[in-house]
Amino acid sequence: MKRTIFEKIWDGHRVSALDNGADLILIDRILLHERTGGTAIRRLLDRGHDVMAPEQAFAVMDHIVDTFPGRSDDTRMPTGKAFITTTREAARAAGIRLFDLDDPLQGIVHVMSPELGIVLPGTTLICPDSHTCSQGALGALAWGIGTTQAEHALATSTLPVRRPPQMRITIDGELAPGVTAKDLALALLGKFGVGGGSGHVVEYAGSAVSALDIEARLTLCNMGTEFGAFTAIIAPDDKTIDYVAGRRFAPEGPDWDAAVAQWRDLPSDDGAEYDVELHFDASTLVPLVSWGTSPQQVIPVDGAVPAPGAVPEQGNEDSQSRARTYMGLEPGEPLTDLAIDAAFIGSCTNSRISDLRRAARLLEGHRVAAGVKAICVPGSTSVKRAAEAEGLDRIFRDAGFEWRESGCSMCFFAGGESFGPQERVISSTNRNFESRQGPGTRTHIASPETVAASAIAGRIADPRKVAG
């Protein structure tokens, strides 16, 4: 029988069929962070259960930690310290490996896991965090869960899951210079909407996907959540295997050879069937920026705010006018006329070394416009160190960017640091909901290149026009 990559992983992890129509799935990796994961371990221990396979679970401090130098448990989020200390104590009590605040391997969970070879092709991986789908870029079945499910998985190394339907999006055509995986993710949202993935396992395939390096694939899969997918996945190829080789938790020696042999069999068979098939041509893509308060409300960077009802696939007239009002925009207003107050490069979408390199290339020899608060937060401590070794931190600092410690930081407002109300922020993150980056903040999501170009210009700017 012809099978998709999803079916191969699912079949290989299916322990049994349950009476309620779900399957019991074996879980290979459990990732936890201090915002949701510490509570899951604590609750489990308090009920007198043990963690079944602590060596398969990993905890990290990323969400509410301070990203200022010399950070401690006293984060700026008023109730933050309790999340940090609970997670530390619970991880210790359960025997789970914790990447603490000062650990050189600490980082945003979806950045540090691929970086350390925790996520591997063909594995099942869960985390109580909605962007766990990012990790499907390595050919794993990785999805976000709730805290109660995390407890169940910690106690049993299994999870009951209803088998999701499958979708393949075949993306062909070559990306033009200055156009990135982030623009591709935004383009899919703009075209198919935030419901486009509707609970499916979305497999990205096609020549444009094969051409992406692994970090770009992580960016593409990251926004599977915004697309409404159960998760996203990309079949492993030579690039995947080269990427995983030698990473800290990756198999070695004969185990490595055996693993690679299995991974070679993972890609979907020719003729395997999907519930939905979509096609997308990437060759005409341009850099995109969100104008509204939903990630589907995107337009080309050189475009104008749409007139009421002009793009029905980006929401009904009411939601579009509400978004325009919140964002302080007029229909027909060119995006490049919009002055910005802040620029943010960071998050599990776009804070890896390749993202920082591409942004730095544009920033070199330029200064951030007067009055713009510009912040760069590397996705992991390893990314930060690597960037510093190459002198990227100098380029960011000389341009006028703050250079921070790693964490989720201003990707989301957790009650601590924020941009101000009505401040217009161009941001390399994945969500632009009302108040996502702080009460009243207006977020425009874009690629790191577009954020860098805009920081220099002091207004939303086309990265293809900056001499870098």
Ligand X SMILES: CC(C)[C@H](C(=O)O)[C@@H](O)C(=O)O
Binding footprint of ligand X on the chain (CB under 6 A) = 35-36, 63, 129-131, 412
What are φ and ψ of residue 14, in 5° steps?
Answer: -85, 115
Give the integer Cα–Cα distance in Å for 461 and 468.
14
Distances (CA, A) of 153 to 40, 189, 281: 10, 31, 39
Least CB distance from residue 431 to ligand SF4, whole Å?
7
Least CB distance from residue 109 to ligand X, whole Å?
8
Which of 230, 57, 43, 246 shows the shortest CA–CA distance to 147? 43
Which of 122, 137, 153 shows the shortest CA–CA distance to 32? 153
Give the integer Cα–Cα distance in Å for 420 and 441.
6
| Tokens standing for residue 261 | 């042999």
User: Quick one: 143 or 412, whose CB is closer to ligand SF4?
Assistant: 412
User: Quick one: 23 or 129, whose CB is closer to ligand X?
Assistant: 129
User: Quick one: 79 or 207, whose CB is closer to ligand SF4?
Assistant: 79
347 binds, among ligand X, ligand SF4, none (CB under 5 to 8 A by kind): ligand SF4
35 binds, among ligand X, ligand SF4, none (CB under 5 to 8 A by kind): ligand X
Least CB distance from residue 175 to ligand SF4, whole Å?
23
User: Quick one: 118 or 175, whose CB is closer to ligand X?
Assistant: 118
Least CB distance from residue 108 to ligand X, whole Å?
9
> Which residues sit at the interface with ligand SF4, rule CB under 6 A?
63, 108, 129, 131, 347-348, 408, 411-412, 430
Distances (CA, A) of 198 to 103, 165, 195, 228: 38, 9, 5, 5
108 binds, among ligand X, ligand SF4, none (CB under 5 to 8 A by kind): ligand SF4
In this structure, the strands spanning 276-281 and 442-445 are unpaired
Least CB distance from residue 412 to ligand X, whole Å?
5
Q: H or E stretch including 167?
A: strand 166-172
User: Quick one: 131 or 444, whose CB is closer to ligand SF4?
Assistant: 131
User: Quick one: 104 or 146, whose CB is closer to ligand X?
Assistant: 146
Which of 236, 466, 199, 443 shows the shortest CA–CA distance to 342? 443
Task: Give the nearest residue (CB) to ligand X.
Answer: 130
DSSP code, position 271: T
The 8 Å CB, 24+ separation contacts for 21-26 are 21/162, 22/160, 22/161, 22/162, 22/163, 23/160, 23/161, 23/162, 23/163, 24/158, 24/159, 24/160, 25/124, 25/158, 25/159, 25/160, 25/161, 26/124, 26/157, 26/158
229 binds, among ligand SF4, ligand X, none (CB under 5 to 8 A by kind): none
142 binds, among ligand SF4, ligand X, none (CB under 5 to 8 A by kind): none
30 binds, among ligand X, ligand SF4, none (CB under 5 to 8 A by kind): none
| Tokens standing for residue 250 | 């990756």
User: Which bin fits 215, alpha (ψ -120 to 50), beta or left (φ > 0)?
Assistant: alpha
Give the integer Cα–Cα distance in Å for 68 and 402.
10
Up-side HSE of residue 32: CA atoms within 13 Å toward CB? 35
Least CB distance from residue 331 to ligand X, whole Å?
30
User: Quick one: 229 or 244, whose CB is closer to ligand X?
Assistant: 229
Least CB distance from residue 417 to ligand X, whole Å?
15
User: Quick one: 349 or 382, whose CB is closer to ligand X?
Assistant: 349
The DSSP bridge partners found for residue 401 are: 374
User: Quick one: 143 or 243, whose CB is closer to ligand X?
Assistant: 143
Least CB distance from residue 136 to ligand X, whole Å?
15
Do residues 392 and 357 make contact, with C-beta atoms less than 8 angstroms apart?
yes
Question: Is residue 23 classed as helix, strand or coil in its secondary structure?
Answer: strand
Least CB distance from residue 63 to ligand X, whole Å?
5
36 binds, among ligand SF4, ligand X, none (CB under 5 to 8 A by kind): ligand X
Least CB distance from residue 27 to ligand X, whole Å?
18
200 binds, among ligand SF4, ligand X, none (CB under 5 to 8 A by kind): none
Give the integer Cα–Cα distance in Å for 155 and 16.
17
User: Quick one: 131 or 424, whose CB is closer to ligand SF4?
Assistant: 131
